[in-house]
Each structure stands twice: as C-alpha cells, then as structure tokens.
Copies of this chain bind each other. A is one copy, B any other.
Amino acid sequence: MKRVGVLVSGSGSNLQAILDAQKAESLGAEVRLVISNIAGVRALDRARDAGVSAEVISHRDFSSREEFDARLIARLKEHGIELVVLAGFMRLLTPKFIESFQIINIHPALLPSFPGVHAAKQALDHGAKITGCTVHFVDSGCDTGPIIAQRAVPILDGDDEETLGARIQAEEHRLLPAVISAIAHGRVRLVSGSRRVEGSV
C-alpha cells in the first residue's frame, strides 16, 4: 500500500474525503501522517478520529522556509511517506521539498484559468460560465504542474463565492480520492518529454 502524507492548514474537508475513501477501502493507499502548519484546526481532529497520526509543525517556529521544510521532510520520511497530498495547505514549498516526494495538489478551478487564491471569486468576477477543479503534480510554480485530472462545475446565475465554492468542493471530494487511487494503482503516468499525464482516473 502506497504510504500517503497529507498537509493541511484548515478544516480539512478534502482530508475527510480521503479518510472516508480509506475507510471504504476504495483509496488503494494508506494515509500514515497528517501535518498541519496551524494548531487547533479541525483537520487534526478528523485525522485522529480516523486513527491517523496527526501533528502540528508551525512555520512560525522556524526562521526560514528551508528549515520549516526540512522538518516537514524529516517527519514525512520517518513515516515512510511516498506520496504527499496538499489538501488546503497554505504554504509554498521549497525546491528541496518538491524533489523529495511525489506531490499532488487540488485547486478549485480548471487550470490554467484562475490560479492562486480565491479561485471561485476570480471565476465569478470574470463572468465564467464553467469552472471546476484540478488535481495536478506539484512543481516549483504556483498551480503550474502537470494536470492529472479535472472536473467541470457549472456557474449559475445568482451564485456567490459561497454557493459556487460549495459546488466546487463537492466535486473536489470525489476527485481527490479517485486520483490518489489511480496513482496508487499506477493507472496514470507522465508522458516523457511533455507535461501531459495519460491514464484514467
């Protein structure tokens, strides 16, 4: 079973979707460690309720990003983590971290549209009619890595950031565990010499 570490910063609803899939034995991978850079967030309770090790490593306890990441790397390696999932983790990672693991991120838009923060609001302000979510491998850019899977979500008249955000999240909760399962079973692969990922999710 592929060993998965999940990095979080907040409520952890995507983490919950992963833990639910693990409980239902549809994940094909095992979440061995959850790390939050913020103390007291609900994600930590969700992990512990599922019997998964959970700890806080606060970026504020380190004088540089490199030192913070070195601690993250050390803890993840100690747990034998092979795949790192960013599930609402609100810190940028150093190149050293990115080279150390296979890492995936979920973003609440159809990249390359609406990268960065407040993606649902960006989509609304732009007047888009379709947005969605994207799971991608993490590279050194912000939301720029090779795309593994995307799902479309309609934008409806009268939507605000909250209603649209909830509709996107519901799709995220289906997509992220499915991508982890596809990676764990070797069903997706990066096409060499390109940024295209082939295989079914």
Residues of chain B lying within 8 A (CB to CB) of residue A146:
127
Residues of chain B lying within 8 A (CB to CB) of residue A196:
124, 127
Binds B, one of A4-12, A47-55, A150-158: A150-158
B113 and A127 within 8 A (CB): no
**With A and B bound together, what is the CA distance between A169 and B57 in angstroms?**
50
A120 at the interface (CB under 8 A from B): no
Copies in the complex: 2
A95 at the interface (CB under 8 A from B): no
B126 and A112 within 8 A (CB): yes
Which chain A residues numbered 125 to 174 have a C-beta less than 8 Å away from chain B? Answer: 125-130, 132, 134, 146-152, 157
Residue of B nearest to A198 (CB): B157
Q: Provided the pairs A113-B110, A113-B113, A157-B199 are in contact, do residues A150 and B126 lie with their beta carbons within 8 angstroms?
A: no
A17 at the interface (CB under 8 A from B): no
**With A and B bound together, what is the CA distance between A152 and B155 in angstroms?**
12
A197 at the interface (CB under 8 A from B): yes
Q: Which residues of A contact B (CB under 8 A)?
A: 110-114, 124-130, 132, 134, 146-152, 157, 194-200
Q: Known pairs A112-B128, A129-B149; list 4 more (Cβ under 8 Å).
A: A111-B128, A112-B126, A127-B197, A129-B147
